[in-house]
Every structure is written in structure tokens, then in C-alpha cells.
């Protein structure tokens, strides 16, 4: 049996988590997930400005912090911290922690080859909308293919303490150690699917251990010291989800079920580069306190095509806010919204959308929110979106004047004018498997 933990559910997750995992009990592998869908475009811009950047900058200092224990306890780390520049990331890790052996997995990036691939018959149609790539081709900022777990296992075979990848399927980070240790074959679909299901359960960190769980949340123990999830993986494919003893949170069938269903489509076909997993056969059972056993996972052959993650410039957006106090807080906020919209109309500005929410009244649940009889205060929040940046710049001047011009008791404008932010949007597409060739490099 091997223990595989996840110490980072996204870039921005708790900095102490990987350290607590290493100090809190036995562990064989530590996985860290840094890449959200549009993170790649941010990293692409950073690399353009400075060729030594373009990776998750939190990662090298973290490795320096835990290097001694990683070596002493023989824990191996897998992270997609490489972003669009895994080699630079590896070099920085080596600079800060020279005793660590680092291998990288390359080959996920296809940005420079997009035109060649399109000419070769890859349509890159948007998987959600069916639109043609020609709609956005000249605005593409990053393009990467989700790679599977086999190249990561190959990198583990180099003996590296740390394996760094760019874009890979999130759950592949957890499957790779199982491939390496148990030597599962590429067509052992049920075992591969078992590893992917366990990886899916831990990939969002504490969402498997009681975090963000709606089941009787008030009784969740000790959120402040919540334990991060650990897979106990067996050669048979059976896994147990657990956490270190003495940590907060809990692992129950309820917490595991919520995470199983998180961000999935058809549960019969959870598609990954290595296997298609069926979630409708999975059996869960209690295996002692904070131990949930996962068995009977069924897998089907891997897909013909791989998923590409493409990001592109969409336009601009900004959000202006003001707070109104009681009495009549909502009525004042509504009058303010009406006033801003009238002035925007009079200025003849060009917006794709204007969206108003009244915070404390309807921001999250719109018409489904419970009625509040007399709120103490209401924030009016006006968001605007446009492909014309100038219209948004003008909008940022149209909110604060209401403090003197409009309904009484406007406050909460201390941050000043809102910032106009670029919208980088996500374009999911499919690409032939044979155009992607990965390779492993040991970084000196």
C-alpha cells in the first residue's frame, strides 16, 4: 500500500497545507495542483515579459522549505507547477534546494504549432458551443494539451524527488505514483479508472475532507486545522480516502460523495487522457473513522482525442459598488442603479452587458433568495462588460459622483475608482492524440 496526498487544490490554496501533510504522518507521495483553466494565459504573459518566468512562483520556495524532510522521509513530489515553463521552474527549485533531484515532463504546449495543427485537420471547435476556432484564432494567448499519467510515471522512474509538469489532467498527478509502483498496464482500464477516481476525489484538497460540504456543516470539527486528503492505494485498484489523525475536518461518505460529483458531466463517462471512468458503479464503504473505501470502479478504453485548453482575449470588464444604509437601503440602492444606467445611456457608451446585483438581497440567488424585511445596509454592485476598453474606462468615472449627486447615505467607496480588467476566456477543444509527443528531462 502507498499513501498519496494532495496539499494544494488550486494556486492560492493554504500555504501551510503541504508542510502539515509532511509533518503530520506517513506519506509516500505529495501532489500539488496549481493550474486552473485560465492560469496558463497569465503565465504565458509572464514568460513573454521575462523568459525565466511562466510557472507557479509559490512552488520553488515551498520546495526549499520542505526539502530536508522530503529527502529524510523519502517523499516524492508531483506538481503541475511548471505552467508554460517547466524547465525554468525546475531550475529555480534546484537553485533554492540543490539536493533535490528534479525531472520535468514536456510536450503539452502547442501554441507555436496551432496553425500547422489546424492545417493538418485539427479543427479545434469549441467543445461546448461548436464554434469554429477562426472566431478567436488571432486572439489566442495560450494553448496546451491535457496530458495523462504515463509520462509522469516515466519521470518518477528517473528517480527524481520532484516531478514538475505543465498542463496535465488533474487526477493524473495521483494516478502516476500508482502506475509507477504497481506497474499497471495501459489497457488495465478498471485499475486506471480506480486511480483516476481516487485522484478526482483528492484533487480539490479539503473538499474531500469536510471543506465546503453542505452535509450538517455546523458539526464539521475544527475547520482551522482541517486535514488534507490522502489516498491509500493498493495494487488491486482498491483505494481508501483518509487524512492524518488529529487533524480537523472529517472523511465520510457524505464528504466523498460531494467531491465525486464536483464539476462532472455525464457520470458514466468521466473522460481523462488515460481512461474513461464510470462513476455509476462505484461502491463506497466505511473502513473505520475517517476512512472511506472506494471499490468496483469500472473503466473503458481511453478516448481517441485529447482535450486542449486554449485561452484567448475576450474583452474587458469592471465592477462598481456603493453602499447605502437604512432606512430604505434597498430603495436607495435601486434608485442609484437607475441613475447610473440613465447616465450611461445618455453618454452613448458601448456595453455588451450591464449586470446589477444588490448585495445582501439577491447577489448569489437572485429571485430564489429569502426576502429581507428591512436590511441594515445594501451594496449596489454594477458590473459592465465590453470589447471596447474606452467605454469601461468612462464607466469607472460614473459611480463615485453618486456620493454627492444621488440618493442619501452613499458610502463604502474608499477603494476609489474600480479597475478595468482584461477578460481572458477559455476555449475547450479536442486534438488528435498523435500530434502530442511528451518527453521527460532530468534537470541539472
Interacting residue ranges for other proteins, rule: CB under 8 A: 37-38, 128, 207, 212-216, 254, 257-268, 279-284, 314, 317, 319, 353, 355, 357, 359, 363-368, 370, 381, 383-385, 423-426, 428
Angle, in degrees to the nearest 10, between helices 172-182 and 189-202? 140
Nearest to 229 by CA among 270, 173, 156, 283: 173
Give the list of residues 6+ apart from residue 155 with CB closer than 8 angstroms, or none. 103, 104, 105, 163, 165, 176, 440
d(CA 325, CA 242): 47
Residue 152: CB minimum distance to other proteins, A: 23
Q: Which is nearer to other proteins, 216 or 374 (CB)?
A: 216
As a three-state string, the secondary structure of 232-298 is EECCCCCEEEECCCCCECCCCHHHHHHHHCCCCCCCCCEECCCCEEECCCCEEEECCCCCEEEECCE
Q: Which helix (H) or strand (E) holds 43?
A: helix 39-49
Residue 376: CB minimum distance to other proteins, A: 19
Beta-sheet strands, E only, within 63-220: 76-79, 102-106, 140-145, 162-165
Q: Which is nearer to other proteins, 12 or 159 (CB)?
A: 12
End-to-end CA distance of the chain: 32
- Residue written as cell 488491486? 236
Q: Which is nearer to other proteins, 84 or 392 (CB)?
A: 392
d(CA 206, CA 217): 13
Residue 442: CB minimum distance to other proteins, A: 36
Q: Which is nearer to other proteins, 119 or 366 (CB)?
A: 366
Q: Which is nearer to other proteins, 95 or 338 (CB)?
A: 338
Q: Decide if 333 contacts 358 (C-beta within 8 A).
A: yes
Residue 38: CB minimum distance to other proteins, A: 6
Q: Which is nearer to other proteins, 39 or 334 (CB)?
A: 39
d(CA 132, CA 27): 46
Residue 321: CB minimum distance to other proteins, A: 11
Residue 408: CB minimum distance to other proteins, A: 25
Residue 181: CB minimum distance to other proteins, A: 28
Q: Which is nearer to other proteins, 413 or 426 (CB)?
A: 426
Residue 215: CB minimum distance to other proteins, A: 4
Residue 19 cell numbers, joined? 508542510
Q: Which is nearer to other proteins, 128 or 222 (CB)?
A: 128
Cα within 13 Å of Cα(330), Cβ side:
12
- Determine how many CB atoms are found less than 10 A away from the CB of residue 239: 26
Give the list of residues 6+ apart from residue 323 with CB closer than 8 angstroms, or none. 377, 378, 379, 380, 410, 411, 412
Q: Which is nearer to other proteins, 185 or 367 (CB)?
A: 367
Reduced to 3 states (helix: H, G, I; strand: E, B; else coil), residue 182 is helix
Q: Which is nearer to other proteins, 77 or 340 (CB)?
A: 340
Give the list of residues 6+ apart from residue 53 with CB closer than 8 angstroms, or none. 43, 46, 47, 85, 88
Dihedral sign (CA 168, 170, 175, 177): positive
Amino acid at each position: 500500500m502507498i499513501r498519496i496526498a494532495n496539499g494544494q487544490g488550486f494556486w492560492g490554496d493554504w500555504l501551510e497545507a503541504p508542510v502539515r501533510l509532511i509533518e503530520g504522518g506517513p506519506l509516500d507521495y505529495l501532489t500539488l495542483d496549481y493550474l486552473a483553466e485560465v492560469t496558463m494565459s497569465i503565465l504565458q504573459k509572464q514568460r513573454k515579459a521575462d523568459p525565466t518566468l511562466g510557472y507557479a512562483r509559490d512552488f520553488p520556495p515551498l520546495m526549499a522549505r520542505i526539502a530536508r524532510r522530503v529527502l529524510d522521509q523519502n517523499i516524492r513530489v508531483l506538481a503541475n507547477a511548471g505552467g508554460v515553463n517547466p524547465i525554468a521552474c525546475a531550475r529555480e527549485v534546484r537553485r533554492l534546494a540543490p539536493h533535490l533531484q528534479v525531472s520535468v515532463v514536456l510536450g503539452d504546449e502547442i501554441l507555436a504549432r496551432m496553425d500547422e495543427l489546424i492545417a493538418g485537420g485539427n479543427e479545434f471547435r469549441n467543445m461546448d458551443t461548436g464554434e469554429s476556432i477562426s472566431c478567436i484564432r488571432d486572439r489566442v494567448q495560450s494553448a496546451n494539451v491535457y496530458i495523462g499519467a504515463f509520462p509522469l510515471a516515466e519521470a518518477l522512474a528517473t528517480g527524481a524527488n520532484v516531478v514538475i509538469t505543465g498542463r496535465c489532467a488533474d487526477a493524473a498527478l495521483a494516478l502516476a505514483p500508482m502506475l509507477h509502483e504497481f506497474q499497471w498496464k495501459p489497457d488495465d482500464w478498471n485499475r486506471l479508472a480506480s486511480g483516476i477516481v481516487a485522484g478526482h476525489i483528492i484533487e480539490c484538497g479539503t473538499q474531500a475532507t469536510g471543506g465546503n460540504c453542505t452535509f450538517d456543516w455546523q458539526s464539521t470539527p475544527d475547520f482551522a486545522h482541517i486535514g488534507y486528503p490522502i489516498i491509500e492505494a493498493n495494487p488491486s485498484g482498491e483505494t481508501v480516502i483518509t487524512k492524518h489523525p488529529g487533524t480537523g475536518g472529517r472523511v465520510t461518505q457524505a464528504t466523498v460523495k460531494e467531491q465525486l460529483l464536483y464539476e462532472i458531466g455525464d457520470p458514466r463517462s468521466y473522460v481523462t487522457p488515460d481512461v474513461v471512468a464510470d462513476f455509476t458503479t462505484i461502491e463506497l464503504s466505511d473502513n473505520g473513522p475517517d476512512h472511506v473505501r472506494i471499490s468496483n470502479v469500472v473503466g473503458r478504453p481511453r478516448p481517441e482525442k485529447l482535450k486542449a485548453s486554449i485561452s484567448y482575449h475576450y474583452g474587458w470588464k469592471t465592477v462598481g459598488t456603493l453602499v447605502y444604509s437604512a432606512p430604505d437601503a434597498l430603495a436607495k440602492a435601486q434608485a442609484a442603479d437607475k441613475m447610473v444606467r440613465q447616465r450611461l445611456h445618455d453618454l452613448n457608451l458601448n456595453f455588451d452587458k450591464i449586470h446589477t446585483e444588490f448585495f445582501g438581497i439577491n447577489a448569489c440567488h437572485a429571485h430564489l433568495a429569502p426576502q429581507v424585511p428591512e436590511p441594515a445596509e445594501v451594496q449596489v454592485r454594477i458590473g459592465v462588460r465590453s470589447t471596447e476598453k474606452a467605454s469601461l474606462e468612462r464607466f469607472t468615472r460614473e459611480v463615485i459622483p453618486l456620493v454627492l449627486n444621488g440618493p442619501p447615505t452613499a458610502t463604502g467607496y474608499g477603494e476609489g475608482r474600480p479597475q478595468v480588467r482584461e477578460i481572458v476566456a477559455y476555449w475547450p477543444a479536442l486534438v488528435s492524440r498523435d500530434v502530442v509527443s511528451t518527453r521527460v528531462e532530468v534537470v541539472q
